[in-house]
A and B are shown apart, each in its own frame.
Chain A
Amino acid sequence: MTTEAAIETHDLCKTYFEGILRRKRQEALRGVSLRVERGEIFGLLGGNGAGKTTFIKILLGIIRRTGGDAKLLGFQAGDWRGRKLIGYLPENLRVPRHLTGHTALEYYGHLSNVPTSVIRQRRGELLEMVGLADRAKDPVRTYSKGMLQRLGLAQAMLHEPELFILDEPTDGLDPLARSQVRGFLADLRKRGKTIFLNSHILQEVELICDRVAILDKGNLRRVANVAEITSGRGQVSGRVQMAGNGQPHEQSEELELHLDLTASEPLIRQTLGPLAIAHWQSFSASDHRIVTRVASQPAVDMLVDQLRQAGVSIVGLSRRRVSLEEAYLEIVAETVD
């Protein structure tokens, strides 16, 4: 069991058909292959209509796939044995209006086949954890959206599942609550649980996730470590080449360098030689800021040596970091081009 990936899909496809007479095809997923290891926090990114929710629904068996294969903790997607091990928080959770915090947990707990005694034992602690302890006996119709979201998280944790699938978990939460959620997601990871979340708040994902996948119009664009994406490396033009195991191939990295140099412009240009200059900004006749790309760290070292030999003073040198949002936009924009 433990050797099985938490989520593993292979060439997963989903096509929706609309209309009865004039059937319209809409491909929501086009051959998505992905592997989420146990114990990681994995984020699925994508714009509206990218296929994120479709992907989750297939995993949970709410809809059927039209092609490929999907496994959840070693079970076929939709298998009730797999569903038993999942804690799910849907987008826009609706809890029946007549329930209170307590009875809602009891109801959802029973649906997950948790005995009443266990529910009673756990619900206080859970509500405390999500910050609803003082509202536990109030009807949920008096809850705000954020409170409902927190209740949803509590019900997802009630039966101690192996894998959490959270659709927009921080949606509607205030900054403090978001930070709390990040806190207990980190806690869950420490306890060996896997978390698969789906979000469009990229700053959140950047802060929580170990790895992310970027979906765009049903295609998987990129699967990478968050650190890797935000390091500014690996921004190559062209499509991501996927290996059979759902991991991208090793790629030749390119580094973006920001150089503040003091020398005359012709001298600098001569020294840099054929190197492509992305940006040139002159502050005076001898003070210049240049943005360029080099193939690797040895190439950076070589460039520094060349500049120094030519008598160019290096006032500043930095390697650029990009935010996930920038990386995402760039990756998605690449595909548009």
Chain B
Amino acid sequence: MTDNELIWRIAGGSGDGIDSTSQNFAKALMWSGLNVFTHRHYPSRIRGGHTYVEVRAKDEPVQSRGDGYNFLLALGDSFARNPQEEAYYGKEELKPLYENFDDLREGGVLLYDEGLLDDEDVDEIGLEEAAEENNWHVVPMDLRGIAKEHGREIMRNTAGIGATAAILDISTDEFEKLIKQNMSGDMQEANLNVLHDAYEAASELDVDHDIEVPEGSHDEEQVILSGSNAISYGAIDEGCRFISGYPMTPWTDVFTIMSQHLPSFGGISEQVEDEIAAAALALGASHAGVKAMSGSSGGGFALMSEPLGLAEMTETPIVLVEAMRAGPSTGMPTKPEQADLEHVLYTSQGDSARVVFAPANIRECYTQTRSAFRIAYEYQIPAIVIYDQKIQGELRNLPASHFDEEPNADPGSVLTEEEIQDAAHHSSGKFQRFLHEPEDGSNVSPRSVPGQKDGRFLATGNEHNPSGHISEDPENRIAQMNRRLNKLDDIRADLDENTSHQTYHGPEDADYGILVWGSQQGTVFEAVDRLNENGHSVKALGVSDMAPYPKEEVSKWLESVDEALVVEMNATAQFRGLTQKELGKYGDKMSSLLKYNGNPFEPAEIVDGFESSIDGEELAASNMKYVPAAGD
């Protein structure tokens, strides 16, 4: 736990405006000079249930959710159904108040809407005892009453913001600015009145607490956005103008953002009948010369297996996004997990040749999506960006300048008509699209695009000769297989030379290491800082290149530590398995800390996990699993 930070949690039912309110709260704090990071938790339903978002704010950059929270705004679930049938539904509207009591820090503030939640009911859940025990400051306020006085009940969330501002002694200026920016007319006026009234009412309560909201300032202009925004913007800036998809949580996010913006960039978005079609359309568009993408989440991505193999075999460039959620099967649709790594690496028949990047944060979502397009189109290979429901939904501020990059619409290794005239053709006139030994000595044989004069060739999922025609000749087979697979070595060399996607953290000469991939990186880095402060000697390596695997970098790093703990959000240690397979050793050096209960790690959990692993003690927490290194 660190001091000098605010972790404000807003909890209510789906449909109570929890998401948008938290976004506004985070943006306002960013405007005030703070760094913010949000953590989002919601059930797989449209209305009701327990939804919460935490906004963590500090003066220094924040890269992870925190440990618990110190301020709870419990709106209650206004969509709780059938209150008469208590036996079945229980006190559902109270869930957002009591369900995560345990995580409210000692001395924290608990503000709830007594306009919705009956005080007698609240008594029954043992709030008073818990508050006494933990020194919580419980503040019941009739937020619903304030909202209804000026407008509609849904404005309870604006009232909650006003009350929060008063209790935490934050200026309402930025909130007012936001309301004015986002709303107009009566709606704007009503919300402003609700904000002020709630502020006044809460000020009069004079709540005494120890939370200090930090103060900060930014040296340059900031933007606040999600991983899905960053992936979409990376794709657009790299010249992607075609997307095809089918809705599935959490992939829908990227699909929606792209669909909303592509037409204004002159592009095309297609919502189609299923994910097989989605991937197939992206292939068709790419074959015809357009930079294209598709994507899905676990189950939908499974349907893309065959088109993915076709892309590999026909060397048609394509970028796919896989937004992981907890599996297997339908799993837990709105909960994050990192359990599709093996799925994405190995799905589809035959020896695969694909590229897989796992960005760890919003910044990397942008840069690595751009890398994925560049590599895919230059090397004529499918590239997959795998991320999860955690990065998809979390917001974080970063300098706007990070996106101040030149666009690149280069379609890669495609010939112009003039170049086709000079290129190799079969005596029949067919263009040699799949040369065994491309003229520049590389493994990439440049392609033509339908409509180009004298560029015709056959693309086929069958093994094929240089003109693309079906061939089962053994020598041709070996030449084509080797060329397709050797592209991966070229890509590895290209990435090593141009764009390292791996991130190092902590003292270089540390004795111990924590190895992490994808979305858990920021949390691990924060844990590493705390561990070093606690006197441990630890560093971390965040890996993004899942394929082709950065063997040299990871070997070198693993050689430099005595032991390494691999942290990932799945039950079978998939990344540790991949690392062992790729490097052929270190099984006796790597242990695993795993979590697969639907919630991402908190920094303190990694600190505990690490400490008990080096002490050889059993994990105290039951929500994680520790798997020792081989031979231990």
Q: Do A and B interact with each other, yes or no?
A: no
